[in-house]
Amino acid sequence: MSDFKCELKKYRGLMDMTQEQLAEKVGVRRETIIRLEKAQYNPSLKLAIDISKTLNVPIDKLFIFDE
């Protein structure tokens, strides 16, 4: 059960980037990006920062945790 919401798909779409391209830029597999978008995988801080930098979006907008 995921306890956070992930807006990765939305911001990736805005950047016109495919899952494969994003995965390659942050050094993970496409499967990892898929799981992240479905909020089924809780990323490490490093990966979250890498994605945030790549998409130029603050982390708190990408991953929204329930209060």
Partner 1 sequence: MKSNSDYTANINPRLGWLGLLGFLGFGGFWTYQINNMIFPFCFLCLFGLFGLFYDGKMKHTLKDEMYKDNERKASLKALKLGFGFSYALVIVSSSGIWDIIVTKDFLLIFLLIGMSLNVAIVVILSKFYLYKFDSLEKDNECG
Which residues are near partner 1 by CB under 8 A?
27-32, 34-35, 38, 40-41, 43-44, 46-47
In degrees to the nearest 10, what's the CA dihedral of 60, 63, 64, 67? Answer: -90
CB-nearer residue toward partner 1: 24 or 60 = 24
Q: In the bound complex, what is the minimum distance in angstroms from residue 38's beta carbon to partner 1?
A: 6
CB-nearer residue toward partner 1: 9 or 30 = 30
Q: In the bound complex, what is the minimum distance in angstroms from residue 34's beta carbon to partner 1?
A: 5
Q: In the bound complex, what is the minimum distance in angstroms from residue 41's beta carbon to partner 1?
A: 6
Query: How would you class 65 by CB atoms within 10 Å of its CB: exposed for 0-12, middle for 13-18, buried for 19 or more?
Result: exposed
CA dist., res. 49 & res. 63, Å (int): 11
